[in-house]
Amino acid sequence: MSQTKTKIAQRISKEINDGDVVNLGIGIPTIVCDFIPSDIEVHIHSENGLVGLDKEAAEGFEDKDIINASGKYATIKNTGSFFDSAMSFNIIRGGHLDMTVLGALQVDSKGNIANWMIPGKLVPGMGGAMDLTVGAKKVICAITHQTKKGTSKIKQECNLPLTAAGEVDLIVSELAVMEVSSEGLILKEIAKEVDVNEVIEKTEAELKISENLKQF
């Protein structure tokens, strides 16, 4: 696992509070799990129909009827439970999730997020992502700061089709933690490895620097 991804996941794990009900998307969000402190109890929701998701199943212990939303064999805590997809999305859309963490192709200064299609190129579909972003109380976007070609994924305005408009609350990359406010993005924290100017340079969106800027 790359250090970049680990850094993002680790920082996001600090947003989780005892008792929270959390949905973790595919990719970086999945590994957030690994950094949740053992002294707090978190209910992991998986949109395919369970809450109380535990680790992936060990080899030889796979149960064909227990998978996570990525299709991997999983396990469930002894206080977990299963339900149909209607109930699963009632939980999501009904505001019963304290937090969802999603990856994205782009995210922007207005809290818009794009993660489900690149016109003419890639159309996987939105799956549960549109419901998750609209429904969860807090939406965190886990994202590498730039594309492999060095383009900022933190846009002033997304140009890919949106997953949701204005729903993202917090953006965490390997370089920065940015809060979405009515006045645009507020740079709250920067990675120890970089300085503010480097972050500003690598970010397409305008950043307001928090008076209380921290490192992570």
Residues 6+ apart with CB under 8 A from 108: 154, 155, 156, 157, 158, 205
Residue 186 makes contact with another protein by CB under 8 A: no
Beta partners for residue 207, in sequence order? 185
Q: Which is nearer to another protein, 61 or 150 (CB)?
A: 61
Residues 6+ apart with CB under 8 A from 189: 11, 176, 177, 213, 214, 215, 216
Q: Which is nearer to another protein, 30 or 88 (CB)?
A: 88
Q: Which is nearer to another protein, 98 or 189 (CB)?
A: 98
| Size of site (CB under 8 A) for another protein | 56
Site for another protein in 94-113 (CB under 8 A): 94-96, 112
CA dihedral (10, 52, 75, 169) positive or negative: negative
Q: Which of 15, 47, 174, 189 is catalytic?
A: 47
193 is catalytic: no
Q: What DSSP character marks residue 116?
A: S
CA atoms within 13 A on the CB side of 126: 13
Q: Which is nearer to another protein, 112 or 173 (CB)?
A: 112
The stretch among 32-40, 47-55, 148-156, 191-199 that binds another protein (CB under 8 A) is 47-55
At closest approach, how far in Å is the CB of 18 from another protein?
10
CA dihedral (97, 101, 103, 109) positive or negative: positive
Position 93: which residue type?
R
CA dihedral (106, 23, 131, 138) positive or negative: negative
Selected from 38, 61, 125, 182, the binder of another protein by CB under 8 A is: 125
Residue 17 makes contact with another protein by CB under 8 A: no
- The three-class DSSP label of residue 205 is coil
At closest approach, how far in Å is the CB of 118 from another protein?
12
Residue 81 makes contact with another protein by CB under 8 A: yes
Site for another protein in 140-169 (CB under 8 A): 161-166
Residues identified as active-site: 47
Binding site for another protein (CB under 8 A): 21, 43, 45-52, 63-67, 69, 71, 76, 78-86, 88-96, 112, 117, 122-131, 134-135, 161-166
